Amino acid sequence: MNRFRNIFRGEHRSFMRYAAIATLLFFLFVLFKPGSNIFNWINARREISRQERQISEYEKALKELGTRIDLLTSDRDTLEKFARERFHLAAPGEDVYIIEGD
């Protein structure tokens, strides 16, 4: 520890102080320079995390839709139920009642 103190008190103290200040200013510039500072890095990481969550949600929805498409293309009863609910279709001879709410 004495060696470290002697560096800043010895014959080269003015140079060492200058070097320490210059190094500190350099690190501050790197951390806070416009366009690419630590705050932008943090915000970019948050955005990446948000988009990765969104991608996983979309992949889950895509998988569910793929399963539903398989059901609709392979099972006639499921397709008929979907058409009746979605498009209000009815078989010939059936009575259809539409109830509208307020």
> For the chain, what is the mean pLDDT?
84
Question: pLDDT digit string (tens) for 78-96?
Answer: 888 888 888 877 878 888 7
Q: 64 and 25, same structural domain? A: no
User: Whole-angstrom Cα distance, residue 6 to residue 4?
Assistant: 5
pLDDT at 58: 98
Q: 42 and 71, same structural domain? A: yes
Question: pLDDT digit string (tens) for 45-70?
Answer: 999 999 999 999 999 999 999 998 99
pTM for the whole thing?
Answer: 0.52
Q: 64 and 52, same structural domain? A: yes
Q: Rounded to the nearest 10 degrees, how much is the dihedral formed by the CA atoms of 88, 91, 92, 96?
A: -40
Q: 51 and 18, same structural domain? A: no
Number of domains in the chain: 2
DSSP 8-state secondary structure symbol assigned to residue 96: -
Q: 44 and 84, same structural domain? A: yes
Give the residue numbers spanning the domain of 6: 1-32
Is residue 1 very low, low, confident or very high in pLDDT (cuts 50, 70, 90)?
A: low
Instruction: Tell me if 16 is assigned to some domain.
Output: yes
Q: 45 and 15, same structural domain? A: no
